[in-house]
Amino acid sequence: MDLLPNQIEMTHPRHPLDPLSAQEIQSAVSMIQIVMQSHSMRFVSVSVNEPEKAFVDEYSPGQIWDRQAYAITYDPETSETHEWTLSLTSQKILGHEVLSGVQPNILLDEFIECEEAVKIDPRFQAAMEKRGITNMDRVMIDPWSAGNYGNEDHGRQRLVRALTWVRQDSDDNGYAHPVEGLLTVVDLNTMRVVDVEDNGVIPIPEEPGNYAADRIPGLRTDLKPLHVTQPEGPSFTVDGYQVKWQKWAVRIGFTAREGLVLHSITYEDNGRLRPIIYRASLAEMVVPYGDPGANHNRQNAFDAGEYGIGMLANSLELGCDCLGTIRYFDAHLVTSHGDPFTIKHAICLHEEDFGTLWKHTDWRNQNTEVRRSRRLVISSIATVANYEYGFFWYFYLDGTIQFEVKLTGIVNTGAVRAGDKPKYATLLNEELMAPIHQHFFSVRMDMEVDGRNNSIVEVHTEKESLGSHNPLGNGFYAKSTVLRTEQEAQQIIDPFSARYWKIINPHVLNEKTGEPVAFKLIPGENVLPFADSESSLIQRAGFITKHLWVTPYNPNELYAAGPYPNQHPGGAGLPEWTAANRSITDSDIVVWYTMGHHHVVRPEDWPVMPVAYIGFSLKPSGFFPFNPSLDVPPQSPLHGSCEV
């Protein structure tokens, strides 16, 4: 295992899409602080203000440009959100907008301060004493976003509904010991407890649920070492934030809200650089729970828009999250008080063997041709309270792009009385349950398949009718339909018709077939929400009601549930934008794919959940004239290969 040296921090970025450095963040913060001079103001995020596409298209190395930052701040004294556009080059404020009635995401400092505010509240302490808990040092408070149910003062209050667990010791898994029936509503503006809801005492589960190696007796002793080595180094090269690997080129970005962002994904084909995706990112995610009980009926966290996936990114460790010859990228962010901070190793870049790429044995002469597959992996992992989410982009030798989310961590828990059988949850032990829930992810892909003028095509398979044209009844065929408007493009998966979607360029034709070049979006696991259509969840997360959305490009339309989902009453984002039913043919289009993981918790998911996988693929479909991986060379047997 080898670690490649990290990029040295540069005074000047190499490319307009490069993330901001710590020094650039500090410069942006200083400009805002000089203007505002507010002791209460909190910084939500500071990121690069991405230039217009036309500028990026024409940019050449060494060119001078106006480097800009985009910042969001929040003032709890006035409940106002501020949006800033700043020139780092000229040290000028280019734009400043003040928004009332919207709430930016919950900040890391607010998590910590909220826990302390709850613990010192006399009403909370009295409720805990009723349950036999007087030592606040062992109490865990998770602030859950409050949502919007029409009965709170969302104009002035910045609310969370805090849930409680108790550790048995300092390293104990507190999620094994939930305090059911107790909810604490906190106004983060004043950092005071607004209300303590006590719906009755249910005994706190006592059985431990620890998973650390030093708590597990009898660890396996028969696992032999399995080494991943690349003695000649990796096949990728890194120049600043641009990565090149096996004809692929991609730029790496990172934001506090989206986490890992990919830019300018291209494929070199016989000396021609062919664009595929301009920008790809996680546009939103939400986790709705299905238990209508008081502790759980408002649990539907928007983990990107209400918490910020990037702010919660892990610092990855060599040999644990990635294997092989690794290149890490750091993420530079800002605390709520305006101090730049760095998440070391927030992004991991490496290669993986992936089994057989293609193979055929000529049975007549026994000649065999086989090629090994490998893939480039660009990944980041975030911890959102109890859950971990790994976000993985894969690039393959045959031109395939894959996005995969790996879900692990600890399931959300609640307590039940011994002997009760919960309807909306799975029992983990006699007193502990985990509610049924779902995880929805919206991925935004600004497509440019061989250029910006693209269209979207729905493809499904139909059986042919009986007749002289199909006398034996064996016929079936793929039927293609161009989706011409935003509302036509609002679709759900249909595995029974083998439905998929193609992003085509009608102006570039395959040299062999004469058909438009294309990439096809192939769904993986998916589901629809089970919440009622009138529920607050569906009003606020309307994007989860469809698996496919397509919009014309608009630089301001970045997030599936709108820019400020925290406490928003609903209707924002994709449902609002697509109501105009704009044309999406032969134009610059953005494809949004929503995928849902349905989680009926298993006992085997406790006390820590084995990874569950969900994702989709983008495969070339007439983009190449033939298999683009024919030129992959045969691989000699690895040193040390042997029979047992």
CA 586/CA 583 separation, integer angstroms: 9
Where do we find the tokens 């238990």? Answer: 291
CA 369/CA 579 separation, integer angstroms: 53
DSSP secondary structure letter of residue 134? -
Classify burial at 419, counting beta carbons within 10 Å of its beta carbon; exposed 0-12, middle 13-18, buried 19 or more.
exposed
- Pairing mode of beta strands 300-302, 272-288: antiparallel
593 is an active site residue: no
CA 509/CA 263 separation, integer angstroms: 25
Put the strands of the sheet holding 182-187 in their side by side order.
Answer: 139-145, 159-166, 182-187, 192-198
Specify whether the CB–CB gap between 206 and 214 falls below 8 A.
no
Where do we find the tokens 């989410």? Answer: 389
DSSP secondary structure letter of residue 622? S
500 is an active site residue: no
CA distances from 299 to 204, 351, 528 (A): 20, 38, 17
CA distances from 65 to 60, 62, 92, 161 (A): 11, 9, 14, 45
Helix (H) or strand (E) run with residue 26 in it: helix 22-36
Tell me the two tokens of residue 120.
Answer: 């010192």
- Pairing mode of beta strands 500-509, 516-523: antiparallel
The total of other beta-carbon atoms located within 10 Å of residue 206's CB is 12
**CA trace torsion 84, 88, 94, 100 (10° rounding):** 10
CA 32/CA 38 separation, integer angstroms: 10
Please pick, among 291, 303, 330, 446, the residue that the annotation labels catalytic: 303
Please pick, among 175, 387, 559, 593, the residue that the annotation labels catalytic: 387
- Coil, helix or strand at residue 542: helix
CA distances from 456 to 119, 284, 609 (A): 53, 22, 37
Provide the β-strand partners of residue 518.
Answer: 504
Specify whether the CB–CB gap between 262 and 279 falls below 8 A.
yes
**Per-residue 3-state assignment (H helix, E strand, C coil) for 555-598:** CCCCCCCCCCCECCCCCCCHHHHHCCCCECCCECEEEEEEEEEE
CA 486/CA 543 separation, integer angstroms: 13
Q: What are the φ and ψ backbone dihedral angles of 455, each rounded to 5 degrees?
A: -135, 165
CA 556/CA 558 separation, integer angstroms: 6
CA 110/CA 186 separation, integer angstroms: 11
CA 246/CA 262 separation, integer angstroms: 17
Gyration radius from the chain CA atoms = 26
CA 591/CA 443 separation, integer angstroms: 8
My answer on whether omega of the bond before 555 falls inside 30° of 0, hence cis, is: no
CA 410/CA 341 separation, integer angstroms: 27
Which residues belong to the active site? 303, 387
